[in-house]
């Protein structure tokens, strides 16, 4: 089950965090992985790990916020069976402390970046007779989270884009779903704690863990397994759906 043999999968943000975990897992499951990332060092490291494990992978260095660059990058690939839109950034702040530059930066990557990838990939999928798209949303799209104004805005847009694409292209044999993780232990979390709570990282990490009813953060590999299922042929009857993977955050935090 959940094999991706002979599938060509494009994973944005594949150089780190959830994207990296997804790329590694897809490689293990037989996909030919195209790691699309702005950071060449991280992208090449992911590719190297996939190849060392016996998989097939290639790095594509690209800024998803630039439509021309994305279109050129994806046109280099002869076929796209799976697109995982995992590239994204976070931002801390409410509406008063979010500058226009902050807002534009989050929008350009988290919203426009996904739009750019959809815009470039869907015509290729239509031409080849179908495909699968998985967008990375967040629990922030469904519930209010303090000091996440711009980030929540962007993930709400991701949820809406997912539904729109699923409806528009269901007859073209293109499935589109999203997942909504809660807190995941990625390098962003470690960097955030180091920058904002020097010397208190361990205590603040435990505090963040306790905001999840299950009592811990997810690890990227757990998220990647849900991505794998939804992108595999075993999920062929699923489209237009968001899946929370949140340790009970949405339903049990009351």
The catalytic residue positions are: 151
- C-alpha–C-alpha distance, residues 208 and 215, integer Å: 9
- C-alpha–C-alpha distance, residues 86 and 139, integer Å: 15
How far is C-alpha 247 from the geometric centre of its chain's CA atoms? 18
The DSSP bridge partners found for residue 32 are: 8, 56
Burial of 225: CB neighbours in 10 Å, binned 0-12, 13-18, 19+: middle
Q: What is the DSSP code (8-state) at residue 108? A: I
- Beta strand pairing status for 56-61 and 82-85? unpaired
How far is the CA of 62 from the CAs of 110, 171, 188, 225, in angstroms? 14, 30, 20, 25
Burial of 155: CB neighbours in 10 Å, binned 0-12, 13-18, 19+: buried
Beta carbons of 178 and 158 less than 8 angstroms apart: yes
Closest to 235 (Cα-Cα) out of 27, 7, 35, 33: 7
How many distinct helices (H) and strands (E) make up the chain? 10, 7
């Amino acid at each position: 089950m959940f094999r991706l043999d002979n599938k060509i999968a494009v994973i944005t943000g594949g150089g780190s965090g959830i994207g990296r975990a997804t790329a590694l897992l897809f490689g293990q499951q037989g996909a030919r992985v195209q790691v699309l990332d702005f950071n060449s060092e991280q992208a090449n490291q992911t590719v190297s790990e996939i190849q060392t494990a016996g998989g097939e992978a290639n790095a594509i260095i690209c800024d998803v916020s630039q439509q021309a660059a994305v279109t050129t990058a994806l046109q280099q690939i002869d076929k796209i069976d799976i697109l995982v839109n995992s590239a994204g950034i976070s931002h801390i702040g409410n509406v008063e402390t979010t500058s226009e530059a902050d807002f534009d930066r989050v929008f350009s990557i988290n919203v426009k970046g996904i739009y750019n990838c959809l815009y470039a990939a869907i015509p290729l999928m239509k031409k080849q007779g179908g495909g699968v798209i998985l967008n990375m949303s967040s629990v922030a799209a469904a519930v209010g989270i303090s000091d996440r104004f711009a980030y929540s805005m962007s993930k709400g847009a991701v949820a809406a884009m997912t539904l729109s694409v699923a409806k528009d292209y269901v007859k073209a044999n293109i499935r589109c779903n999203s997942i909504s993780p809660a807190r995941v232990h990625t390098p962003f979390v470690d960097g955030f704690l180091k920058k904002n709570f020097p010397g208190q990282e361990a205590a603040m990490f435990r505090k963040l863990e306790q905001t999840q009813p299950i009592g811990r953060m997810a690890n990227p590999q757990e998220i990647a397994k849900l991505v794998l299922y939804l992108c595999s042929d075993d999920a062929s009857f699923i489209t237009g759906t968001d899946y929370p993977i949140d340790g009970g955050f949405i339903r049990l935090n009351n």
